Structure 1
Amino acid sequence: MKRALNLLPLLIFAPAAVLLPVGIRLSTADTAASPAFIDVTDAAGISYLGDTYGLAWGDFDGDGYLDLFAGNHQGTPALYRNNGDGTFSDVLDGSGIGPRGDRHDSSFVDYDNDGDLDLYITIGAKGGTGEGPNQLYQNDGQGQFTNVAEEAGVQDNLGRGRGAAWADYDNDGDLDLFIANAFSENAPNAFFRNNGDGTFENIGAEVNLAQYIS
Structure 2
Amino acid sequence: MTTLRLATGFLLLFCAAAMAQPFTKISDQIVSNDGGDSRSVNWVDIDGDGDLDLFVTNGHSPGTNNFAYENLGNGVFDKITNSAIVQDSARSDGASWGDVDNDGDPDVFVANWYNDQNLFYINEGDWQFRRIAEGPPGGSMGFSESCSWADANNDGWLDLFIANSGNRQPERNAFYLATDGTSFTKIFDSPLSADAAASRSPNWADVDGDGDADMFVANEGDSPNHFFKNLLKENGKLAFEKITDGAIAKDAENSISGSWADVDNDGDFDLFVANLGQPNVLYLNDGRGNFQRQNAFSDSSRSFGSSWGDIDNDGDLDLFVANGWAKTGLNNHLFRNLLAETGTATFEEISGDPVVQDGGWSYGSSFADYDSDGDLDLFVAKWLNSKDENNALFRNDLANENNWLIVNCVGTTSNRSAIGATVRVKAKINGKSVWQMRQISGQDSYCGQNLQLHFGLGNAQSVDSLIVNWPSGVTQTVAISAINRSTTISEHR
Report the TM range for the smaller structure's normalisation: 0.7 to 0.9
CA RMSD, 1 decimal: 2.1
SS in 2 for 1:38: strand
1:141 aligned residue: 287
| Structure 1 residues 16 and 165, CA gap change in structure 2 (3 angstroms) | farther
Query: Which deviations, in whole Å up to 9, do the C-alpha atoms of 1:144-192 show, x marking residues without a partner?
Result: 2111133xxx2322x1001111111111111111111013668511111
Identify the match of residue 298 of structure 2 among 132, 155, 159: 155
Q: Which runs of 5+ in 2 are unaligned?
A: 1-101, 103-154, 361-383, 385-493
Q: Which residue of 2 aligns with 1:121?
A: 273
Residue identity opposite 1:193 in structure 2: R
CA distance in 1, matches of 2:238, 2:352: 46
- The equivalent of 2:260 in structure 1 is 108
Q: Which amino acid aligns with 2:224?
A: T
How many residues align? The count is 195
Aligned to 2:348: 201
Counterpart of 2:323 in structure 1 is 181
Counterparts of 1:162 and 1:41, CA distance in 2? 29
CA–CA distance in structure 2, aligned partners of residues 212 and 147 of structure 1:
29
Corresponding residue number in structure 1 for 2:229: 81
Q: Residue by residue, what CA displacement relative to the aligned partner does 1:78-115 show, whole Å, maximum 9, x if unpaired? A: 1100000211001131x232431110111111111110
The whole-number CA distance in structure 1 between the counterparts of 2:351 and 2:204 is: 27
Instruction: Select the residue among 144, 147, 162 that pairs with 1:12.
Output: 162
Residue 129 of structure 1 is matched in structure 2 by none
Unaligned 5+ residue runs, structure 1?
A: 126-131
Mapped contact 2:202–2:217 kept (Cα < 8 A): yes
Cα shift readout 1:21-50 (whole Å, capped 9, x = no counterpart) = 111111112xx4xx11111242x3321211
Is the CA contact (8 Å cut-off) linking 1:13 and 1:52 kept in structure 2? yes
Q: Report the structure number with the largest CA radius of gyration.
A: 2
Aligned to 1:28: 179
User: Contact 1:184 / 1:212 at 8 angstroms: preserved in 2?
Assistant: no
Once the two structures are superposed, the pairs formed by residues 49-68 of structure 1 within 5 Å of their partners are: 49-68=196-215
TM-score (norm 1): 0.83
TM-score by length of 2: 0.37
CA contact (8 A) 1:189 1:209 kept: yes
Partners of 1:190 and 1:202 within 8 A in 2: yes
Q: 1:16 to 1:41 in 2, by over 3 A?
A: closer
Q: Any conservation in 1 of the 2:334–2:350 contact (CA below 8 Å)?
A: yes
Q: 1:37 to 1:6 in 2, by over 3 A?
A: farther
Residue of structure 2 in register with 1:96 after alignment: 247
Query: Is 1:6–1:26's contact at 8 Å kept on the other side of the alignment?
Result: no
| Residues 1:115 and 1:49: Cα distance change in structure 2 (over 3 Å) | same
Contact 1:189–1:204 under 8 Å retained in 2:
no
Identity between Structure 1 and Structure 2 (%): 32
Match of 2:311, SS state, is coil
**What letter corresponds to residue 194 of structure 1 in structure 2?**
N
Q: Which amino acid aligns with 2:279?
A: P
